[in-house]
């Protein structure tokens, strides 16, 4: 091997094994896993049946079309119209991907050249740093600071320079739960237009906004031709293992992303695409009930964490609550999370893993509330030492 490191140097130092470590701890200690963001109940039975039906009927068992099956592309376009009044041509302006993760990777690989700068909110969802690095570009963090985690727009303006190519934005934001306000959306869109920037919006929690409203940035003036909007079925329909996501945007941008996607997975899981097409057509009541259910879970866990002595930063959206452990006399989220399963029988994640500079999130710890109420109640009881 000529003494060369095996791992590509662009990825070296980016990998975080914390999720694997914490899930392993949950298994060995029998702790309640509020670490990784996946629900502990599956999504609607009729949607699961739709996947079984597709498999049995031989729909999608062989390579589906590269851009995704027409049924799903049309359902995505109809969803964008129904919820946001946006019109996309399913043939040229919609692309099905292997989850939002592949959509983000393909967008970065397609749209960036080495040396380009990408501004993203820090703490970042963990794949962002790696995808920007794989494209040879440079990530430039705009740090969201507790307690409100609002983006500092003056700072954002000052960060834009001739090398800035793209804004990689996530709202509702994992892990902080921040949801952009109308003023913030407008300011960001104006900045993107003024500096002719591309924008990739990760909207996987679009249906999980509890306070405020999700409005896709692509719907703002001047954004249609410069935005790649990314979403996924995983969170909205509680089938995170199916990995069906999508991209919407102008034909030129979608075609660029499709070119990169073609060399990553070529196509995405066939039968699940038919099932997700049905899921996107569920009645409004499904989406409203889903949000109400998650809001109640957020409130249950937030109250319990506060009673257990954590400082709680209530999220406006997503699956997650960020807390601060300083009031508990703790000052290191990593050590706290490594000890917590043994100490209390609960698994959480240190937010430091989502920062370039771990010190920034040193005392922050993230808990997922996409679990059954009885599980959340038990976790709270354990954290309160009952």
Least separation, in Å, of the C-beta of 254 and ligand PLP? 17
CB 115 within 8 A of CB 136: yes
Q: Pick one of 77, 132, 204, 267: the residue that binds ligand PLP (CB under 6 A).
A: 204
Q: Is the CB of 208 or the CB of 344 nearer to ligand PLP?
A: 208
The single residue among 39, 67, 245, 271 that binds ligand PLP, judged by CB under 6 A, is: 245
79 close to 277: Cβ distance less than 8 angstroms:
no
Closer by beta carbon to ligand PLP, 67 or else 245: 245
Binding status of residue 125 toward ligand PLP by CB under 6 A: yes
Least distance (Å) between residue 339 CB and ligand PLP: 25
Buried b (16+ CB within 10 A) or exposed e, 346-378: bbbbbbbbbbeeeebbbbbbbbbbbbeeebbeb
Return d(Cα 268, Cα 102) in angstroms, integer: 10
Site size for ligand PLP, by CB under 6 A? 14
Write the interaction track for ligand PLP spanning residues 146-175; mark x where CB under 6 A is met and - where it is not: ------------------------x---x-
For the chain, report the end-to-end CA distance as a whole number of angstroms: 55
Q: Please list every residue from 88 through 117 that binds ligand PLP, using CB under 6 A.
A: 99-101
Q: Closest residue to ligand PLP, Cβ-based?
A: 99
Q: Which helix (H) or strand (E) holds 118?
A: strand 117-122
Residue 206 or 278 with smaller CB distance to ligand PLP: 206
DSSP-derived secondary structure letter, 232 = E
Q: Which is nearer to ligand PLP, 25 or 230 (CB)?
A: 230
User: Which of positions 21-40 make contact with ligand PLP (CB under 6 A)?
Assistant: 37
DSSP string spanning 145-197? -TTT----HHHHHHH--TTEEEEEEESSPTTT-----HHHHHHHHHHHHHTT-
Q: Yes or no: say if 175 and 323 are a contact pair by the CB < 8 Å rule.
A: no
Residue 74 binds ligand PLP (CB under 6 A): no
- Please give the residue ranges that form the binding site for ligand PLP (CB under 6 A): 37, 99-101, 125, 170, 174, 202, 204, 232, 234, 240, 243, 245
């Amino acid at each position: 091997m000529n003494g060369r490191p095996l791992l590509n140097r662009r990825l070296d130092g980016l990998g975080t094994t914390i999720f694997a470590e914490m899930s392993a701890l949950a298994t060995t200690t029998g702790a309640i896993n509020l670490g990784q963001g996946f629900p502990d109940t599956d999504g609607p039975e009729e949607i699961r049946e739709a996947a079984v039906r597709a498999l049995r009927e031989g729909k999608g068992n062989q390579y589906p079309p590269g851009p995704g099956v027409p049924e799903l592309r049309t359902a995505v376009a109809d969803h964008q119209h129904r919820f946001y009044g946006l019109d996309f041509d399913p043939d040229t302006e919609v692309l099905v991907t292997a989850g939002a993760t592949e959509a983000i990777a393909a967008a970065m690989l397609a749209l960036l050249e080495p040396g380009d700068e990408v501004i993203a909110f820090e703490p970042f969802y963990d794949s962002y740093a790696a995808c920007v690095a794989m494209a040879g570009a440079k990530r430039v963090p705009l740090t969201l600071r507790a307690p409100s985690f609002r983006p500092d727009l003056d700072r954002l303006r000052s960060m834009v320079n001739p090398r800035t190519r793209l804004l990689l934005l996530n709202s509702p934001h994992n892990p902080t739960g921040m949801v952009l306000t109308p003023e913030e959306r407008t300011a960001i869109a104006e900045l993107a237009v003024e500096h002719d920037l591309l924008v990739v919006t990760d909207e996987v929690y679009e249906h999980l906004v509890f306070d405020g409203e999700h409005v896709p940035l692509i719907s703002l003036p001047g954004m249609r031709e410069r935005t790649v909007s990314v979403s996924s079925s995983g969170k909205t329909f509680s089938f995170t293992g199916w990995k069906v996501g999508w991209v919407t945007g102008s034909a030129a941008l979608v075609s660029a992303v499709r070119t990169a996607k073609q060399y990553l997975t070529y196509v995405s899981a066939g039968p699940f695409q038919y099932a997700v097409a049905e899921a996107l057509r569920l009645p409004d009541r499904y989406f409203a009930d889903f949000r109400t259910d998650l809001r109640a879970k957020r409130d249950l866990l937030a109250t319990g964490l506060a009673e257990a002595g954590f400082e709680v930063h209530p999220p406006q959206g997503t699956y997650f609550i960020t807390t601060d452990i300083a009031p508990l006399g703790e000052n290191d989220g990593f050590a706290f999370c490594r000890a917590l399963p043994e100490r209390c029988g609960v698994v959480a994640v240190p937010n430091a893993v989502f920062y370039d500079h771990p010190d920034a999130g040193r005392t922050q710890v993230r808990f997922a509330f996409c679990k059954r109420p009885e599980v959340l109640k038990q976790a709270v009881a354990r954290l309160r030492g009952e």
